[in-house]
Amino acid sequence: EVQLVESGGGLVQPGGSLRLSCAASGFTFSSYWMHWVRQAPGKGLVWVSRIDGDGSSKNYADSVGGRFTISRDNAKNTLYLQMNSLRAEDTAVYYCARPHPYSSSLAGWWGQGTLVTVSS
């Protein structure tokens, strides 16, 4: 069974940093692109970043480019999101997602999410 468990969220001041983790199990982690998607309180879904199976290809939304870094450790079956220079508008639940087998750009499995609150 595919399982994704995010951690690392919390309260951080504007300008601060946070690293999110997503522990994956139940599938061959290194074979899949992985994604981060966020959802501000009461708002819609926004794709944040994605990374290919060996970590060589990465994409970011314009709103986080230059501040966030996606990475993965295939030996630990773990996905990361390093978030620097955080802003109030980064406040959201952050989900990691594994693609559906049909396409690497469809989110077939989701974690439960971890809440990041940026506030002084």
Partner 1 sequence: EIVLTQSPATLSLSPGERATLSCRASQSVSSYLAWYQQKPGQAPRLLIYDVSNRATGIPARFSGSGSGTDFTLTISSLEPEDFAVYYCQQRYNWPLTFGGGTKVEIK
* Contacts with partner 1, residue ranges (CB under 8 A): 44-47, 50, 59, 61-62, 95, 100, 102-103, 105-108, 110-113
Question: Could you tell me the smallest distance in angstroms from the CB atom of residue 120 to partner 1?
Answer: 27
Closer of 17 and 58 to partner 1 (Cβ): 58
Instruction: Give me the residue label for tokens 């970590």.
Output: 55
Question: Could you tell me the smallest distance in angstroms from the CB atom of residue 95 to partner 1?
Answer: 6
Closer of 11 and 106 to partner 1 (Cβ): 106
Q: Contact, 37 vs 98, CB < 8 A?
A: no
Closer of 27 and 47 to partner 1 (Cβ): 47
Structural tokens at position 40: 């501000």
Question: Could you tell me the smallest distance in angstroms from the CB atom of residue 65 to partner 1?
Answer: 10
Residue 62 has a CB neighbour count (10 Å cut-off) of 6
What's the start-to-end Cα distance of the chain, in Å?
40
Phi, psi of 108 (to 5 degrees): -85, -30
Closer of 55 and 107 to partner 1 (Cβ): 107
Question: Could you tell me the smallest distance in angstroms from the CB atom of residue 45 to partner 1?
Answer: 4
Structural tokens at position 94: 């952050």
Structural tokens at position 32: 């899949």
